[in-house]
């Protein structure tokens, strides 16, 4: 009888240990398959990537493109809208990305093309000093006029 009880306890212990091991193994397999986005990571889900691509490519300003490039952009955008962005090969994706990047670059305005403002050195940093006439020049007389008076 004692032999039966010890055998029953041994089988129960092995069964419990096996159950615990199988549960831990199952959790490890699930964790290995799961892909969790880490904060500030470069990974994004494929669906999110497609939406971001479509939004970026949809902002391409067609009126600023050369007619040949415009036709190619229109053809590729029609392909993307019809079959999805997965239908594009890497060169076509790069072309659309380049066209979107060109649209973001703003042309320099005439203010930016003006003569640069003088810089004053102060400590370890350079600070911009607004260009204003000196008091002698503000009156209309230059430094040469001051030397005569």
Q: What is the pLDDT of residue 111?
A: 47
| Chain segment 52-103, per-residue pLDDT in tens | 888 889 888 888 889 999 999 999 999 988 888 888 999 999 999 999 988 6
Evaluate if residue 104 carries a pLDDT over 80.
no
Domain boundaries, the chain: 46-104
Task: Please give the C-alpha separations between residue 119 and each of 16, 31, 47, 89, in angstroms, as whole numbers.
Answer: 78, 58, 49, 49
Q: Which residue, 121, 114, 119, is CA-closest to 130?
A: 119
Longest dimension (CA), the chain: 130
Between residues 37 and 32, the one the model is more confident about: 32
Nearest Cα to 56, choosing from 109, 86, 94?
Answer: 94
Please report the pLDDT score of residue 39 as a whole number. 65
Determine the pLDDT at residue 113. 45
Whole-prediction pTM value? 0.43
pLDDT tens-place string over residues 84-98:
888 899 999 999 999
Question: What is residue 94's predicted lDDT score, i.e. its pLDDT?
Answer: 93
pLDDT of residue 50: 86
d(CA 32, CA 109): 54
Helices (H), the chain: 2-33, 46-58, 67-83, 90-104, 135-138, 143-148
Q: From CA 94, how far away is CA 77, in angstroms rounded?
A: 13
**Confidence at 37, pLDDT banded by 50, 70, 90:** low
């Amino acid at each position: 009888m004692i032999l039966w009880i010890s055998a029953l306890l041994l089988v129960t212990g092995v069964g419990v240990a096996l159950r615990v091991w199988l549960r831990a193994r199952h959790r490890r397999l699930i964790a290995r398959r799961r892909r969790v986005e880490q904060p500030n990571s470069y990974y994004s889900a494929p669906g999110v990537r497609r939406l971001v691509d479509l939004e970026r490519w949809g902002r391409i300003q067609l009126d600023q493109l050369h007619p040949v490039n415009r036709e190619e952009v229109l053809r590729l955008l029609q392909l993307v809208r019809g079959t999805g962005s997965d239908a594009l090969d890497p060169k076509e994706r790069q072309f659309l990305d380049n066209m979107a990047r060109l649209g973001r670059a703003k042309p320099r305005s005439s203010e930016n093309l003006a003569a640069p403002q003088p810089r004053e050195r102060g400590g370890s940093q350079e600070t911009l000093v607004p260009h204003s006439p000196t008091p002698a020049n503000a009156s209309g007389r230059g430094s040469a006029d001051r030397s005569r008076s």
